[in-house]
Amino acid sequence: MRKGIVAGLAYAGAALTLLIAACVPFVLIGTFTNLVAHAGLHVDTAYTGGSVARTIERKGYEIVIYQPVRPRALQRIETFQQIVFKPAAALPVQVSEEIDLDGDGKPDVKVIFAVPADPRTPLRGDVVALSGKYQSLKNASGESFSRLMVRVNDEVVVRVPLNEVPGTR
């Protein structure tokens, strides 16, 4: 009889251990969520395009200009500056905009692209550098993280690479 009680307790202990192991992730998920939230983690600027510098209002749409994004250690991207045209549905069929990216009052780039009627159609266009600080893009699309022109949801995202001398910022 003693062997039966010991075996029963062993099985009960094993079942309780499995039950606790299965419930621990659900009980501790709030703790893990709080730890991650307070850890100061954020999405890298190479993915988000950086922080907004200013917005230019146009008739029916706006142009959002971001701060330049520079690569961090071990990142394999070029320094770029992001421009967002939104909403894409309100853009004219042919967009041709001279834009002042650095805020000095003089246009730095001219962005030219046609907005396809079908939002799933790949977007292609040109960026003409009007200043030596920026690089021109010919027939740009989504080839590179630092050189792109794509339609994402209801926005057209353009990333213009900067001409930077290595070691200067």
Q: Is the pLDDT of residue 143 over 90?
A: no
- On whether both 52 and 76 belong to a single domain, the answer is yes
- On whether both 15 and 52 belong to a single domain, the answer is no
Does residue 169 fall inside a structural domain?
no
Mean pLDDT of 40-53: 87
Does residue 167 fall inside a structural domain?
no
Per the structure, the complete domain to which residue 35 belongs is given by 1-41
- On whether both 78 and 25 belong to a single domain, the answer is no
pLDDT in the model for residue 30: 82
- On whether both 33 and 101 belong to a single domain, the answer is no
Mean pLDDT of 123-146: 91
Q: How many structural domains are present in the chain?
A: 2
Structure tokens at 110: 């001219």
Confidence band for 1, pLDDT divided at 50, 70 and 90:
confident
In whole numbers, what is the pLDDT of the chain averaged over residues? 89
Does residue 51 fall inside a structural domain?
yes
- On whether both 61 and 3 belong to a single domain, the answer is no
- On whether both 61 and 13 belong to a single domain, the answer is no
- On whether both 85 and 120 belong to a single domain, the answer is yes
- On whether both 87 and 132 belong to a single domain, the answer is yes
Tokens 């606790």, located at residue: 20
Single-letter code of the amino acid located at 92? P
Residues 160 and 34: their CA atoms lie apart, in Å, by 37
Mean pLDDT of 137-166: 88
- On whether both 56 and 31 belong to a single domain, the answer is no
Does residue 75 fall inside a structural domain?
yes
Q: Which residues pair with 112 in a beta bridge?
A: 96, 126
pLDDT in the model for residue 169: 52
Residues 156 and 151: their CA atoms lie apart, in Å, by 4
Confidence band for 165, pLDDT divided at 50, 70 and 90:
low
Tokens 């003693």, located at residue: 2
- On whether both 120 and 51 belong to a single domain, the answer is yes
pLDDT in the model for residue 79: 93
- On whether both 60 and 130 belong to a single domain, the answer is yes
Structure tokens at 115: 């907005």
pLDDT tens by residue, 53-100: 999 999 999 999 999 999 888 888 899 999 999 999 999 999 999 999
Confidence band for 2, pLDDT divided at 50, 70 and 90:
confident
Does residue 168 fall inside a structural domain?
no
- On whether both 2 and 21 belong to a single domain, the answer is yes
Does residue 20 fall inside a structural domain?
yes
Q: Is the pLDDT of residue 166 over 60?
A: no
